[in-house]
Amino acid sequence: MKTIINPEKSTWPALCQRPQMQLEFLEGAVKNILSRVKTSGDEALREITFQFDKVKLTDLRVSEKEVQDAIGEVSFELKDAIRAAAVNIGKFHHAQKRTTEKIETTPGVFCWRKAVPIQKVGIYIPGGSAPLFSTVLMLGIPASIAGCVEIVLCSPPDATGKINSAILFAANLVGIKKIFKVGGAQAIAAMAYGTESIPAVDKIFGPGNQYVTKAKQMVNLEGTAIDMPAGPSEVLVLADEKANPSFIAADLLSQAEHGADSQVMLVTSSEEVVKKVTSQIEVQLEKLPRKEIAKEALQNSRAVILKNPHAIDFVNHYAPEHLIINTEDCDQLAEQIVNAGSIFLGPYSPESAGDYASGTNHTLPTNGFAKSYGGVSLESFLKYITLQKISREGIAQLGPVIETMAEAEQLKAHAEAVRVRTRG
């Protein structure tokens, strides 16, 4: 972790640079996969799965028996933990429901909005070393609360043709019935276009490697909505002298272990804090199974010494996915934060609480996207339809306004649509 003392504002853009994802070179390979799936459906999925996942599948869909077997394999302790997390995630996302209010903007002119679930949604869950059953909860629970009619989940099979049992347990818990053994860009293609066995969806959610990210970008340009642009995960810890260095070190490491391309940042007014945290990182790092990954991530990482209000300015400039404010005045500082995905306040709010179980969503904007995007929420699975109902008196009153504006925009038929109703 490189320490930078009182950096000039002109150097902030460089300091806030994330490890870059280069995806353009994947375009040809991903385009080829998309077009194979579009043309040959399930047959292409089986071929590509054999090619990349080294397994021959007959049925792409996970059977009810496989789900039941998986449930039997998950430990009671893990089941209870997943259930407890699901309750909290459910409470937090349920509270995001809102009621419809009709507004009479002009006498006789009533306008309102209704929230309608996106009818068909797809959830992608990566395979690989870590089975991300927590992401099944984070996407499946709001989809289910929103009332999405069709929820499809795709995840790559392992070498024996199975999906991790905890993923299947979590999917079953949140009521996902259509689970398919397909991963990578081919899974994104299947959910965007539909195949014989996998239904096409209106919006695709979920993390993935660079092939998945590129495929999501490409189907998005063709019209399938996606949750948000993706980038490597990151945390910024804003700490004062009172903060416990071992807490800070643990929080930085919990982000660093995600991947070699993760970025962790420490912002503090005190060089002393940086020294103590650095030595705590060394101690704690040794005990971690993923220490090589964490070490690499620490190469991309920075400690920045800044006093307020510059420290807060810097945080807003960086726009972290996760922001831990471990200071005595954390509540006041949080008021000043305008760009962040999720904020963790005080000494006892580690990022891992939000990653798993406090109730907030862990699908958050990375790479500075927190300037313009919020994380996944209930609204991500809904869309608002506006409605209006105007009475005869209402159009008589509002009509002249519409006519004048339409004529000035040289759209005469727009004015006529009013006149035909009011002239009689």
Restricting to residues 310-369, name those near its own copies by CB under 8 A.
330-331, 334, 337-361, 365, 367-369
Scan residues 57-76 and list those touching its own copies (CB under 8 A).
Answer: none
Residue 40 contacts its own copies per CB under 8 A? no
CA distance 359 to 354: 7
Pairing of strands 103-106, 109-117: antiparallel
Shortest separation between residue 323's beta carbon and its own copies, angstroms: 9
Shortest separation between residue 379's beta carbon and its own copies, angstroms: 7
Give Cα separations from 316 to 74, 163, 243, 309, 319 (angstroms): 42, 40, 21, 11, 5
Residue 420 contacts its own copies per CB under 8 A? yes
Contact 139, 206 (CB under 8 A): yes
Nearer to its own copies, 60 or 146 (CB): 146
Helices 291-299, 245-256: crossing angle, 10 deg rounding: 100
AA identity, residue 149: V
Shortest separation between residue 2's beta carbon and its own copies, angstroms: 21
Identify the DSSP state of 26: G
Token pair for 347: 């000494």
CA distance 190 to 188: 5
Residue 260 contacts its own copies per CB under 8 A? no
Scan residues 171-230 and list those touching its own copies (CB under 8 A).
Answer: 202-203, 217, 221, 223-225, 229
Residue 247 contacts its own copies per CB under 8 A? yes
Residue 17 contacts its own copies per CB under 8 A? no
Residue 373 contacts its own copies per CB under 8 A? yes
Q: What is the dihedral of CA 235, 240, 246, 252, to 10 degrees?
A: 10
Nearer to its own copies, 5 or 116 (CB): 116
Q: Which of 197, 210, 246, 270 binds its own copies (CB under 8 A)?
A: 246
**Candidate segments 64-72, 205-213, 268-276, 382-390, binder of its own copies by CB under 8 A:** 382-390
Nearer to its own copies, 60 or 340 (CB): 340
Scan residues 385-414 and list those touching its own copies (CB under 8 A).
Answer: 385-392, 394-395, 398, 400-402, 404-406, 408-414
Scan residues 112-171 and list those touching its own copies (CB under 8 A).
Answer: 113, 116-119, 129-134, 166
Shortest separation between residue 306's beta carbon and its own copies, angstroms: 20
CA distance 101 to 98: 9
DSSP labels, 242-296: TS-HHHHHHHHHHHHTT-TT-EEEEEES-HHHHHHHHHHHHHHHTT-TTHHHHHH
Residue 283 contacts its own copies per CB under 8 A? no
Residue 417 contacts its own copies per CB under 8 A? yes
Shortest separation between residue 120's beta carbon and its own copies, angstroms: 8
Pairing of strands 322-326, 234-239: parallel
- Sheet harboring 150-155: ordered strands across? 178-181, 150-155, 120-124, 203-205, 225-226
Of 234, 257, 321, 403, which residue is the catalytic one? 321
- How long, in residues, is the chain? 424
Shortest separation between residue 59's beta carbon and its own copies, angstroms: 26
Of 93, 310, 322, 362, which residue is the catalytic one? 322
Identify the DSSP state of 269: S
User: Percent helix, strand, coil in the chain (nearest 5)?
Assistant: 50, 15, 35
Please confirm, yes or no, whether 310 is among the known catalytic residues. Answer: no
CA distance 218 to 225: 10
Shortest separation between residue 28's beta carbon and its own copies, angstroms: 15
Contact 348, 260 (CB under 8 A): no
Q: How many residues bind its own copies (CB under 8 A)?
A: 128
Residue 371 contacts its own copies per CB under 8 A? yes
Please confirm, yes or no, whether 258 is among the known catalytic residues. Answer: no
CA distance 187 to 214: 12
Contact 251, 280 (CB under 8 A): no
Give Cα separations from 227 to 139, 216, 278, 424 (angstroms): 10, 9, 36, 49
Q: What are phi and psi of 112, to 5 degrees?
A: -155, 175
Scan residues 79-118 and list those touching its own copies (CB under 8 A).
Answer: 80-82, 84-85, 87-88, 91-92, 95-96, 98, 101, 103, 105-106, 109, 111, 113, 116-118
Shortest separation between residue 316's beta carbon and its own copies, angstroms: 8
Nearer to its own copies, 60 or 248 (CB): 248
Scan residues 290-309 and list those touching its own copies (CB under 8 A).
Answer: 290, 294
The set of catalytic residues is 321-322
